[in-house]
Structure 1
Amino acid sequence: MIAQAVLAAALSIPLATAQLARAVVQTTAFNSSFSFSHAQIQDAQLDGALVETLQNIVNYDRSQLAFGGPSEDDFYRVPPLASTKNVKPGQLLKVQAFTDPTAYAIPPSTALSRFLYTTTTLNGTLIPASAFILWPYTPHQFPSGSGPHKRNPNPSGSAKGKVPAVLWTHGTSGFSSFWGPSAHRALWYEHAAPFALAEAGYAVVAPDYAGLGVATSWDGSHIPHQYSAAPAAAHDALYSMRAALAAFPANLGSNFVVLGHSQGGATAWAVAETLAREKVAFADLLPGYRGTVAASPPTDVFRAPAFFILPTVGQALQSIFPTFRLSEWLTPLGEARARLALQVEGGITAVQQLYFGRNDTYWPDWDTASWYAAAFARLSAVGRREFAGPLLVVQGTADLYIPFDATNKTVADTQKLFPKSDLEFLVAAGVGHVPVLHATRQFWLRWIETRLAGEPLVRKGPFRTDLQSVMPIEQHLLVGNSFPLWGGLPEYQYELPLGL
């Protein structure tokens, strides 16, 4: 009774001075009213149903931006430099130690920081990029053990109180500056990875990738997002980790594990290969590196459906091969829809609607008509190379985007080439692309914990683990059907009972 009286008194305090906000209906397009022009509709040959569908998608995507997104948020303006002559990759350019979390749909008791830093394109050009850090309420607590595998009581690699880090590399969001996850209210992957990691007590260091977030370089030139160029994204990730350590020396632990999914799964795998290949360049980070988790990694980018991969890879290919023209892969209709996607900064969902299932948007001989596809495949592929281990590859057998047989073959080939390497393969039967992160969460969280705790691998060398669902697979929810909805204004707070 006493507890109930105290609670009732506490609840009455705000009511004594102010009334609760009026509840207002919220739509997913509440802060956007985009519509296509007649010229855009004609040029891209959109019928009425597709116009409506795409406008709904673009309006929804724009409603998910914090602070109006990179085009309106001054954070993404790069500070001027007198000269880039002495500037090195991984150099810190700007720090926003406190990013107002009320503009985001992140979990309660987490905190957000953002920063700008220097990275390089696939061709080695120095450019600025953006990243975020999602902070936990308290650092992960590593339980002490006994015997030969007793855990390090201070495994984060730093002084007491520092937070152990996970370098998170995200999957495909979009193809222009609009699509930096640091500007997305739910950081793009929400509970699938970054929220889960922060709530487990890790600092989530997350690059947007070059061209996502920051739009222009110091000289005003456009920064391309070199989509699916995994080695370039790997540099983005490693340089973001270097800059994060410089930005938060008192908070961030020096030991880290890499976790990535889809495009980011290939990026994460490429990080492991980069650390094996470029030991001198990353000598400062190597002592803290504890391993990589690569989930649903596209090890051969052109195994993805041609109608999707050709316009998306093709958009940035000229920044890698200056003589490439999009018309070598796409038909006039395909090019027109690529122009439209670029004009409205359409992300992965909009591009899928523009191209899904259409074989009239690309030439049937695109892969043999020129040398660009083979050249980019060699540049972008991961696997079958030496890597800094240990490496855990996670894949669902029902993945519609990354064929299981492609990942399975790459893993098998890599294990054969490097039989003494610590390469683990975790297979989830009947599970799809993003849901594999949910299905296997307890396994990769435990794997990350044991790596950061300094525990040796239980089994050395390559091995495979197969998981089966507890209930018949058709009884499980196979694809996500809900999302975090920002309710930061008082009139929307009725959607968040008791601030949950």
Structure 2
Amino acid sequence: MTTSLPEEVVQAIEFEKSQWATGSVYEDPFYSVEGLDASARPGALLKVEKTSDVSLYSIPAATTLSRFVYQSKTFSGSLVPVSAYVLWPSSPRTSPDGFQVVAWAHGTSGISAENAPSHTKNLWQHFLAPYQLVCQGYVVVATDYAGLGVSKTADGKSIVHEYLALPAHANDVVYSVLAAQEAFPELSRSWVAVGHSQGGGATLAVAQRQAKDHIPGYLGAVPISPVTRLMDEADPARTVVTSLMVPGIQAAFPGFNADDILTERGKEILGSVRKYHLTLGASTPMLFTADLMKSGWHNNSFLSTHQDTIQTGGKPVAGPLLIIHGQCDELLSPDKLTSAVKKTAEMNTNASIKYIQFEGASHNGTLPASQWMWMDWIADRFKGVDQKKGLVCEVRKTAKSVDSYQRNLNWWLKHAKAYHETP
């Protein structure tokens, strides 16, 4: 069931298609796992494109790209193939055992296969993080997350992107590193996880996962603007984002009925988002203006159980953490994150947790606002610098008046086609 699309959404779809580096994932053989080993262990390398055609991408000069497919696990623990990319600097930072690795967990790109960063010209968040990391000499290993990119299992079953099922995303992050190390033995066994928004929640979930299932080489995590417990957030973000989680909730709980929480209009819009592979940005004109949910939807028992299971914060963690948030985050409340951080610190008194808020920083703006701090922190982890145990909280004030700063991105990367389009 779909609805007619507003003209601005149609224009957004055409723009997003123009940003695909390799065409549709359904036509790119890289994203097909037909004939591959469906029973391979989690973390196993399934296929690798060691040298991708960088002319198709808008990546920094003096960098190159690889893509690979590996085995991960869903929220329920079933095996699932996932795609990922590796962004290589020309002169990587080196540890005694190889090139230093940062696992990058991206923010929300969408809930459909076409929303995979690995087939987007700018790899989705470009200079907000992955390009900056590679320009600093780190080898960036970046999962697409299950259901984005690879759309079907080896036996032809459709893969659902379990949006914000953070433990599943943590699996994708961890196993992407293990598979990349298998594909490229020159990579260090040591690694740091960094993520933003959805990926921020994923990296916090990585720290929680490490407390239960230790993976050698993990040095710590940097959750930036992370999702913790969505149900505690304010509307409209809570309602809009929860509607996009419905397919994943259905995959996790077969007894869940979407009709119990979605209105007819909500079902129509969700159908359009999935049919046309809309990103969150492209679907905004519909999602933020529609009556998506039925009255009392937040009391649904399946939804409550799902939220309790996938939430981050207030759980055991392993490894040092640097948690960053903007005080003017328009999507995720700084107060809610502060509460989650404090609960985490109370439960993990021997953990090293640094929590920094940035005055005036928006949800996406927090990445450039805090960049030098997380870059320094990552470098210290590879150097083996000790971090004091316990919780350290800090607020960073702006150098100039808050109102004088550019709040959000007002530019985009375009693939140059002529010599005069490059400086």
Give the TM-score, by structure 1 length: 0.82
SS at match of 1:66: coil
> Which residue of 1 is the match for residue 197 of structure 2?
262
Give 1:427 shift.
Answer: 0.9
Aligned to 1:292, what secondary structure does the other structure show?
strand
CA shift, 1:79, in A, is 4.4
For 1:460 and 1:272, locate their aligned partners in 2 and report how far apart those are by CA, in whole Å: 15
Worse-superposed segment, 392-401 or 339-348: 339-348
Q: Deviations over 1:23-59 (max 9, x none)?
A: xxxxxxxxxxxxxxxxx8xx52x5xxx6211101111
* CA distance in structure 2 between the aligned counterparts of 1:408 and 1:475, rounded to whole angstroms: 26
Aligned partner of 1:201 in structure 2 is: 137
- Contact 2:230–2:238 (CA under 8 A) maintained in structure 1: no
Question: Which residue of structure 2 aligns with residue 343 of structure 1?
Answer: 275
Task: Kindly state the Cα deviation for residue 157 of structure 1 after the two structures are TM-superposed.
Answer: 4.5
Query: Is it true that 1:467 corresponds to 2:396 in the alignment?
Result: yes
Partner of 1:367: 298
Superposition misfits of 4+ residues, deviation over 3 angstroms: none
- Residue identity over aligned pairs, in percent, reads 33
1:298 partnered with 2:227: yes
Answering whether residue 34 of structure 2 is matched by residue 104 of structure 1, we say no
- Name the residue aligned to 1:77: 32
What is the rounded CA distance, in whole Å, between the counterparts of 1:352 and 1:163 in structure 2? Answer: 40
Partner residue, 2:178:
242
Q: 1:397 Cα deviation (Å)?
A: 0.6
- For 2:275 and 2:313, the matched residues in 1 are separated by 35
Which residue in the other structure is 2:345 paired with?
A: 415
1:191 counterpart residue number: 127
| Amino acid of the structure 2 residue aligned with 1:73 | D
Tell me, in whole angstroms, the C-alpha distance in 2 between the residues paired with 1:306 and 1:468. Answer: 28
| Unpaired runs of at least 5, structure 1 | 1-39, 141-153
- Residues 1:478 and 1:344: Cα distance change in structure 2 (over 3 Å): same
Q: Contact 2:65–2:87 at 8 Å: present in 1 too? A: yes
**5+ residue gaps, structure 2:** none
AA paired with 1:261? H
- The C-alpha deviation readout for 1:434-490, integer Å capped at 9, x for no partner, is 110100101000000010111112x33210121111110111111111111112x3x
Q: SS of 1:450's equivalent?
A: helix
- Equivalent position of 1:278 in the other structure: 213
Distance 1:374 1:454 in 2: 40
The equivalent residue for 1:392 is: 322
CA distance in 2, matches of 1:463, 1:199: 29
CA distance in 2, matches of 1:409, 1:167: 26
Distance in 2, Cα, partners of 1:340 & 1:480: 26
Q: Find the aligned partners of 2:298 and 2:262 in 1 and give their Cα distance.
A: 11
Distance 1:306 1:166 in 2: 30
Q: C-alpha distance in 1, partners of 2:420/2:25?
A: 29
- Backbone CA RMSD of aligned residues: 1.4
Task: Output the CA distance in 2 between the equivalents of 1:468 and 1:93.
Answer: 47
| Amino acid in the other structure paired with 1:472 | S
Amino acid at match of 2:125: Y
1:383 aligns with 2:313: yes
Which digits, 9 at most, give the CA deviation of each residue in 1:169-200, with x for residues without a partner? 01100001101110111110100100000000
Amino acid at match of 2:270: A
Among 6, 25, 42, the alignment partner of 1:89 is: 42
Q: Does residue 1:226 correspond to 2:129, yes or no? A: no
Q: Is the 8 A contact 2:22 2:56 kept in 1?
A: yes
Query: Equivalents in 1 of 2:344, 2:41: separation in Å?
Result: 33
Q: Matches of residues 62-211 of structure 1 in structure 2 within 5 Å?
A: 62-81=17-36, 84-85=38-39, 87-140=40-93, 156-158=95-97, 162-211=98-147
Check whether the contact 1:186–1:484 (CA below 8 A) recurs between aligned residues: yes
Provide the rounded CA distance (Å) in 2 between the counterparts of 1:75 and 1:417.
43
Letter in 2 for 1:272: A
Contact 2:349/2:389 (<8 A) preserved: no
Amino acid paired to 1:363: K
> Matches of 1:72 and 1:307 in 2, distance apart?
34
Distance in 1 of aligned mates of 2:89 and 2:106? 19
Partner of residue 481, structure 1: 410
How many residue pairs match? The answer is 420
User: How far apart are 1:272 and its partner, in Å?
Assistant: 0.8
Secondary structure at the residue paired with 1:266?
A: helix
> Aligned partners of 1:324, 1:434: CA distance in 2, in Å?
33
Distance 1:310 1:437 in 2: 24
Residue aligned with 2:330, SS: coil
Distance in structure 2 (CA, Å) of the matches to 1:132 and 1:256: 16
Distance 1:430 1:95 in 2: 42
State the alpha-carbon separation in 1 of the partners of residues 24 and 352 from structure 2: 41
Which residue type is aligned with residue 426 of structure 1? I
> What is the deviation of 1:362?
1.0
Amino acid at match of 2:108: T
What displacement does 1:338 show?
Answer: 1.1
Which is further off, 289-298 or 303-312? 303-312
In structure 1, how many angstroms separate the alpha carbons of the residues matched to 2:401 and 2:367? 19
Compare CA radii of gyration and give the structure with the larger one: 1
